Amino acid sequence: MSKKVFKFFKWLGIILLILIFVLIIVTYFYMKRDVFGESPVGARLERIKKSPNFRDGKFVNLNHTPSLTEGYSMMGVIYDKLVTEYPRLSPIDQIPSQKVDLLKLPIEQNILVWFGHSSYYIQLDGKRLLIDPVFSGNASPIPGTVLAFKGTERYKVEDLPEIDYLIISHDHYDHVDYETLIKLRDKTKKVICGLGVGADFEAWGYPLAKILEKDWNETLDFGGGFFVHTTPARHFSGRGFTRNNTLWMSYVLQTPSRKIYIGGDSGYDTHYAEIGKKFGEIDLAILENGQYDEKWKYIHLLPEETLQAAKDLRAKRLFPVHSSKFVLANHPWDEPLSKLTELNKDVNMPLVTPIIGQLVYLDDINQPFKKWWVGLK
């Protein structure tokens, strides 16, 4: 090798090392931003260590749960995402939606309002609940990367009344939205979340007295026949490079008039049947149906599994969520709902499929819903 060639590669190596060093420094300081929250420490971490679901420094699922299906690798998934062009990930047309004045709804009216993806508002038996709210228009800590579809951003925090219980399933960015939660701080009476997730809320200015962190299989009794039961899910957690240092949850909301299952994110497993056996018939099961792929089938439900999970839960009605707002998987944007309804012809599970913002009347089990996604490009 000539001296010139050697010198060239020497300087090239130095430049690459400098670039890598700069990237590491930039990443380090970027990860210090408030949006990433805080890891559990101190008394919070000591409580976590006592959980039967925490082993070898991390939370675990009830059964072995690989991040990827056998035969796939993370590098392969990343390469596929960068190279393969998947059709119709985002709609061309605007997603239909409507807006009601939530501030003027009579408190005695039992309703549900979906905001797209996994965010929804429940008003039931005199209580107001908000689940996994994301109103910033972005399901990522990096600006402009996972943007909401046109038509899905009808509601803002300012449109919400005071919230009795803010329920959080897990800490991923499409469920825990920093911008939204900062604005909600003064409107929220109590936050219900899994172990460790409270560290984020406390870092974001929520008083510790407002935060109710729970393990699986606990019960919160709020009096008057109003309970929130914490139940397992099959998923994972993490807002930075650390995974599974906080707990992912599902819930059974039990009130004087009904039981609602709040599913969060979860792959299919035995916990659905166990919950159905423990709590009996569920009036409404809210289950994820979107952002799935055979490559990560252990941590998200496939459409046929969504229907099976509803049956396992002994659900009278199924509300499929986790779709129609963000691109997080490789399926066409409308496939979750179209595939589920097609599969349901053999199951006949009553489906709740409102457009964003539509009032779902929880007392009306015969309320009709249109297949609003049909015909949209």
Number of domains in the chain: 2
One domain, residues 8 and 133 = no
Q: Is residue 262 part of a domain?
A: yes
pTM: 0.94
Q: Is residue 46 part of a domain?
A: no
- More confident call, 199 vs 33: 199
pLDDT given at position 16: 76
Calculate the CA 50 to chain-centre distance.
26
Q: Is residue 50 part of a domain?
A: no
pLDDT given at position 26: 66
Averaged pLDDT for residues 295-311? 98
One domain, residues 7 and 128 = no
One domain, residues 208 and 289 = yes
One domain, residues 147 and 269 = yes
User: How far apart (Å, rounded) are the C-alpha atoms in residues 18 and 127?
Assistant: 56
pLDDT given at position 25: 72
For residue 349, give Cα distances in angstroms to 216, 285, 346: 28, 11, 9
pLDDT in tens, 149-188: 999 999 999 999 999 999 999 999 999 999 999 999 999 9
One domain, residues 188 and 286 = yes
Does position 1 have pLDDT exceeding 70, yes or no? no
Strands (E), 233-326: 250-254, 259-262, 284-288, 318-321
One domain, residues 256 and 353 = yes
Q: Is residue 89 part of a domain?
A: no
Range of the domain at 233: 102-361
Q: Helix, strand, or coil here: 263? A: coil
